[in-house]
């Protein structure tokens, strides 16, 4: 076999071999373990190979059309020349449709080999189907012996290998055979995590929460991440280190809720920043007097009890749609750990009242059209007890310092995801919403000069809600709420 250059061998568990034969797998005894190990070799692509495999239709059909055109040009056949030019255009159009699909099939082995998705015994996962989408392609594949964590961790390398900005891989059930793990990968030219994005006006001017979803952000493949407050029986917990973007995400959500005539937003905010545009009747802000926070929350508990009592009388299990008379009540806790500490400093009893009210609101509020949005730097059991935590159906973790903080809201998450969350920039995190797999996402951004925008959005929104007949609660609170 003189003169034959052996391909380079890449394997997962350091068992390099230079005596593998080109063009297939080589069986060798696994060092020390006495079992045969297949080594999957992935020879590096040359630039020529890569080009041909990336643009096969363009090169083949376009090349033929070009030859015909050149031939006709040289011999002066006008009609053939015209036909050649038409064929050239057709070839380029065809290639725009087919090449993105073909490139996946043709370069799959090289790219997955480069991304290190090679199992010892079974080699590279199999592709089953590739189909185009508006902004890229979707690929269905399956692997026998590669761990899902390795597959998810390879997302970025695969996207880069095929020349896309983002890849999202989800595990699927019931697609191939029960013995193999199945995945669907979405490759997109844009990465939803990279650029900050704002809401369009139509999202900020909605009339009612019935049937509306609140945009929370965008996932990697540019799909909306939305919260359906009435449809999702559960509350929202947002965790993240300082400056990770919790408050700014809340600006975006509250800006959407403000103009709705059948939504009331109240809250407890030790910083006073989030509370400012809502008015003192609605929010307990600052830390000077935490009994106001306890009063406000107990008023919400009383409202919840009266709603639940009414539901029981009517024999109905939950409020399915809301109105200005019976609005959706959103209760925001800004920096919950801070609230608890401030209350504790004032009086242990106040702290207990606040914690008890939260526990009851999250446990019994969902059917009474009451939703809690709780922001905290860490969602540890010390801050939110485990029972209360289980009632948060929508869970968001923005950048955190350590893996343990990620696991508090997402206990089953893979290590590769945990590592990723630690490195995220402001406003980027992971989200769990019932009915969806855990997604990496970028939170909605209200825009530069964010606080000013938030003040205006809520101010204008509340006026709009008032003009739309959402007045009842305002009268109620004027007749003696928790106001100063």
Ligand X SMILES: Nc1ncnc2c1ncn2[C@@H]1O[C@H](COP(=O)(O)OP(=O)(O)OP(=O)(O)O)[C@@H](O)[C@H]1O
Q: What is the dihedral of CA 58, 59, 61, 66, to 10 degrees?
A: 110
Choose, by CB under 6 A, the member of 393, 426, 461, 465 that binds ligand X.
426
CB atoms inside a 10 Å sphere around CB 422: 14
Does 376 interact with Mg ion (rule: CB under 5 A)?
A: no
Contacts for 169 with CB less than 8 Å, ≥ 6 apart: 151, 152, 154, 155, 158, 183, 184, 185, 186
Q: Provide, rounded to whole angstroms, the least separation between the CB of residue 283 and ligand X.
A: 16
Choose, by CB under 5 A, the member of 38, 186, 221, 247 that binds Mg ion.
247
Judged by CB under 6 A, the chain residues 118 through 137 that form the site for ligand X are: none
Contacts for 32 with CB less than 8 Å, ≥ 6 apart: none
Provide the CB-side half-sphere exposure for 183 (13 A, CA): 25
Secondary structure (3-state) at 318: coil
Does 426 interact with Mg ion (rule: CB under 5 A)?
A: no
Per-residue contact flags (x/-) with ligand X for residues 179 to 208, judged by CB under 6 A: -----------------x------------
Are 212 and 226 spatial neighbours (Cβ–Cβ below 8 Å)? Answer: no
Per-residue contact flags (x/-) with Mg ion for residues 122 to 161, judged by CB under 5 A: ----------------------------------------
Does 244 interact with ligand X (rule: CB under 6 A)?
A: yes
Q: What is the dihedral of CA 325, 326, 327, 333, to 10 degrees?
A: 130
Choose, by CB under 6 A, the member of 20, 186, 285, 377 that binds ligand X.
377
Choose, by CB under 6 A, the member of 11, 254, 394, 443 that binds ligand X.
443
Residue 124, token pair as written in the block: 């590279």
CA–CA distance, 435 with 181 (Å, rounded to integer): 20
Does 244 interact with Mg ion (rule: CB under 5 A)?
A: no
- Tell me the window of 196-204, 246-254, 296-304, 475-483 that interacts with Mg ion (CB under 5 A): 246-254
**Dihedral angle sign, alpha carbons of residues 46, 51, 54, 60:** negative
Residue 446's nearest CA partner among 211, 208, 201, 270 is: 201
- Tell me the window of 76-84, 160-168, 180-188, 241-249 that interacts with Mg ion (CB under 5 A): 241-249
Provide the CB-side half-sphere exposure for 13 (13 A, CA): 14
List the single partner that 248 binds among Mg ion, ligand X, none, CB under 5 to 8 Å by kind. ligand X
Residue 86, token pair as written in the block: 């038409």
Q: Provide, rounded to whole angstroms, the least separation between the CB of residue 449 and ligand X.
A: 10
Considering beta carbons, is residue 54 or 426 the nearer one to ligand X? 426
Choose, by CB under 6 A, the member of 46, 79, 178, 242 that binds ligand X.
242
Q: Provide, rounded to whole angstroms, the least separation between the CB of residue 270 and Mg ion.
A: 10
What residue ranges bind Mg ion (CB under 5 A)?
247
Point out which residues bind ligand X (CB under 6 A): 196, 240, 242-248, 377, 426-427, 442-443, 445, 450
């Amino acid at each position: 076999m003189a003169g034959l250059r052996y391909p380079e061998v890449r394997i997962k568990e350091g068992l390099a071999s230079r005596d593998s034969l080109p063009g297939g797998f080589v069986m060798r005894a696994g060092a020390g373990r006495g079992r045969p190990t297949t080594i999957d070799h992935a020879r590096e692509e040359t630039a020529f190979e890569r080009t041909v495999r990336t643009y096969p239709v363009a090169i083949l059909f376009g090349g033929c059309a070009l030859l015909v055109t050149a031939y006709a040009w040289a011999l002066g056949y006008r009609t053939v020349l015209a036909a050649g030019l038409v064929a050239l255009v057709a070839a380029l159009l065809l290639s725009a449709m087919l090449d993105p699909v073909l490139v996946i099939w043709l370069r799959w082995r090289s790219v997955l080999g480069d991304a290190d998705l090679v199992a010892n015994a079974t080699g590279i996962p199999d592709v089953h189907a590739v189909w185009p989408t508006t902004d890229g392609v979707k690929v269905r594949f399956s692997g026998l012996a590669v761990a899902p964590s390795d597959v998810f961790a390879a997302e970025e390398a695969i996207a880069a290998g095929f020349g896309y900005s983002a890849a999202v891989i989800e595990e699927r059930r019931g697609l191939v055979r029960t013995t193999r793990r199945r995945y669907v990968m979405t490759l997109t030219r844009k990465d939803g995590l990279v650029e900050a994005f704002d809401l369009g006006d139509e999202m900020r001017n909605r009339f009612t929460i019935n049937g509306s979803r609140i945009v929370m952000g965008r996932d990697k493949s540019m799909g909306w991440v939305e919260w359906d407050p009435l449809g999702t029986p559960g509350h929202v917990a947002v965790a993240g280190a300082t400056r990770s973007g919790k408050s700014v995400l809340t600006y975006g959500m509250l800006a959407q809720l403000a103009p709705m005539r059948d939504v009331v937003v109240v809250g407890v905010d030790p910083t006073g920043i989030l509370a400012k545009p809502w008015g003192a009747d609605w929010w307990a802000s600052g830390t000077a007097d935490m009994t106001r926070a306890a009063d406000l929350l107990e008023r919400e508990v009383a409202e919840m009890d009266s709603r639940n009592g009414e539901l029981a009388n009517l024999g109905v299990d939950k409020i399915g749609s809301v109105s200005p008379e019976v609005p959706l009540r959103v209760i925001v806790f800004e920096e919950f750990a801070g609230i608890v500490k401030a209350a504790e400093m004032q009086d242990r009893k106040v702290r207990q009242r606040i914690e008890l009210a939260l526990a009851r609101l999250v446990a019994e509020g969902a059917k009474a059209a009451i939703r809690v949005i709780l922001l905290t730097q860490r969602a540890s059991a010390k801050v939110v007890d485990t029972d209360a935590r289980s009632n948060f159906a929508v869970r968001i973790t923005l950048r955190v310092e350590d893996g343990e903080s990620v696991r508090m809201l997402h206990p089953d998450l893979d290590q590769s995801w945990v590592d990723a969350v630690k490195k995220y920039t402001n406003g980027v995190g992971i989200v769990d919403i019932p009915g969806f797999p855990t997604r990496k996402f970028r939170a909605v951004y209200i825009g530069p000069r964010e606080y000013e925008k938030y003040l205006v959005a809520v101010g204008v929104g509340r006026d709009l809600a008032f003009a739309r007949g959402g007045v009842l609660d305002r009268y109620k609170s004027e007749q003696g709420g928790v106001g100063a």
